[in-house]
């Protein structure tokens, strides 16, 4: 495991996956912050006063941290912020799953994402079971995204993107 | 506070420099977000014109105006009285909620099922020209989302009854139940 955390190629791959996912997730939210604000409102957790500031802040934070993680500058700090965001999203999704609130994740904007497609393919009749499957899938997906983010945080030493000619730093 | 201090000490020992680095990235993100949102033509109001669930989920400020025009209870009642032949009222909630109570004469088309049920809905209501969609209340967005789908399907003039079923009940209007 230690060798894995010290492998610069794993680090590089983790940075690209983590950064790429968050940049992809941020683009539509920046394009249409109103939809993202509606999604946050749909969670029925936050008071109205926090919805617009969060809808304005989170997508830009995602894209900025995503770029930093890919570029390798301040990547640990940026990855720690991404991890905090992911854990917060997972807590909110889990909270609504437990209390049975139906909501749109909003994780990748208003577009139907992979979890919606998976739930549609598994459950032919929509209803409570469908929502549980989709929300559970959202949780698993976020947990999977957390893996490369954790790798970036725990990587042993800061390294720049390995050159194609020279290979990774050793 | 003690646990935060402990977490800070752990991070500082395990990952030297990560706490100031994270704070710097956080601060830069906030500045970038405020600038980006202010300069974006689609930016939203951060401090003024806050979200107002009492007026319906779509009313945050001018930028977040409803995609589909909303109507109030009086207009809905007027339409139901005057345009009986060409009006179809659509309930976007789940079938279970529909069965437990809905606006009299409404048709169930849950948003979740829309992709599957839309063809049969359109076939059964080809004479309808006006479509009013509602969901559970002012805070749900299903009616707007379903209205979007129906508008794209074409053939209808689509409206949303913004206050939804809870607004109908609050207006002390009769409720029908037990029929899909």
In chain A, which residues touch B (CB < 8 A)? Answer: 30-34, 37-38, 41-42, 44, 48-49, 51-53, 55-57, 59-61, 64-65, 68, 74, 76-78, 80-81, 104, 120, 126-127, 130, 153
Q: Does B155 touch chain A (CB under 8 A)?
A: no
pLDDT class of B77 with cuts at 50, 70, 90: very high
**What's the CA gap between A102 and B135, in Å, rounded?**
13
**What's the CA gap between A129 and A127, in Å, rounded?**
6
Can you give the pTM of this predicted structure?
0.71
| Three-state SS at B161 | strand
**What's the CA gap between B125 and B128, in Å, rounded?**
5
Q: Per-residue pLDDT tens for B156-165? A: 889 999 889 9
Q: Cβ–Cβ of A37/B64 closer than 8 Å?
A: yes
pLDDT of chain A, 170 residues: tens digit per residue: 677 777 788 889 999 999 999 999 999 889 888 888 878 887 888 887 888 889 889 999 999 999 999 998 899 999 999 999 999 999 999 998 888 777 777 787 655 577 777 777 776 655 667 778 888 888 999 999 999 999 998 876 544 545 445 445 44
Q: Does B42 touch chain A (CB under 8 A)?
A: yes
Q: For position A90, what pLDDT does the model report?
A: 93
Compute the CA torsion angle A3, A21, A58, B16 (nearest 10 deg): 10
Q: ipTM exceeding 0.90? A: no
> Where is mean pLDDT largest: A26-40, A115-129, B1-15, B91-105?
B91-105
Higher pLDDT: B101 or B63? It is B101
Q: Cβ–Cβ of A34/B63 closer than 8 Å?
A: yes
Residue A108 distance to chain B (closest CA, Å): 17
Q: Cβ–Cβ of B29/A65 closer than 8 Å?
A: yes
Residue B10 pLDDT greater than 50, yes or no? yes
Partner residue facing B94 (CB), from A34, A48, A127: A127
Q: For position A101, what pLDDT does the model report?
A: 76
Query: Do A18 and A152 contact (CB within 8 A), yes or no?
Result: yes
Query: Do B72 and A67 contact (CB within 8 A), yes or no?
Result: no
| Three-state SS at B91 | strand
Q: Per-residue pLDDT tens for B17-56? A: 888 999 999 999 999 999 998 898 888 878 755 555 555 5
Q: For position A127, what pLDDT does the model report?
A: 61
Query: Do B103 and B134 contact (CB within 8 A), yes or no?
Result: yes
Q: Does B120 touch chain A (CB under 8 A)?
A: no
């Amino acid at each position: 495991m230690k060798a894995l955390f010290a492998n610069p190629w794993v680090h590089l791959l983790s940075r690209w996956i983590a950064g790429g996912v968050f940049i992809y997730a941020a683009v539509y939210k920046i394009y249409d912050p109103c939809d993202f604000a509606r999604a946050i409102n749909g969670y029925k957790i936050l008071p109205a006063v926090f919805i617009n500031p969060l809808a304005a802040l989170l997508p830009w934070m995602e894209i900025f941290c995503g770029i930093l993680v890919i570029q390798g500058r301040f990547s640990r700090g940026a990855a720690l912020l991404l991890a905090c965001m992911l854990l917060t999203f997972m807590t909110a999704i889990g909270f609504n799953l437990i209390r049975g609130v139906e909501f749109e994740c909003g994780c990748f904007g208003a577009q139907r994402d992979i979890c919606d497609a998976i739930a549609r393919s598994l459950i032919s009749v929509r209803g409570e079971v469908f929502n549980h499957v989709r929300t559970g899938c959202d949780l698993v997906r976020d947990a999977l995204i957390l893996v490369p983010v954790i790798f970036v945080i725990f990587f042993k030493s800061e390294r720049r993107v390995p050159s194609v000619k020279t290979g990774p730093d050793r | 506070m003690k646990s935060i201090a402990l977490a800070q000490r752990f991070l500082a020992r395990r990952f030297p420099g990560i706490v100031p680095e994270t704070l710097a990235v956080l601060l830069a993100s906030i500045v970038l977000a405020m600038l980006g949102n202010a300069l974006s033509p689609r930016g939203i109001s951060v401090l003024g014109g806050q979200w107002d669930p009492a007026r319906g989920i779509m009313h945050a400020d001018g930028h977040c105006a409803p995609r589909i025009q909303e109507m109030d209870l009086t207009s809905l009642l007027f339409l139901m009285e005057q345009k009986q032949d060409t009006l179809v009222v659509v309930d976007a909630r789940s079938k279970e909620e529909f069965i437990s109570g809905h606006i009299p004469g409404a048709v169930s088309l849950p948003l979740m099922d829309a992709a599957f049920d839309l063809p049969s809905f359109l076939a059964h209501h080809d004479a309808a020209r006006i479509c009013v969609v509602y969901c559970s209340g002012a805070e749900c967005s299903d009616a707007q989302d379903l209205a979007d789908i129906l508008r794209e399907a074409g053939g209808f003039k689509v409206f949303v009854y913004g206050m939804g079923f809870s607004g109908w009940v609050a207006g002390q209007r009769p409720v029908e139940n037990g029929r899909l």
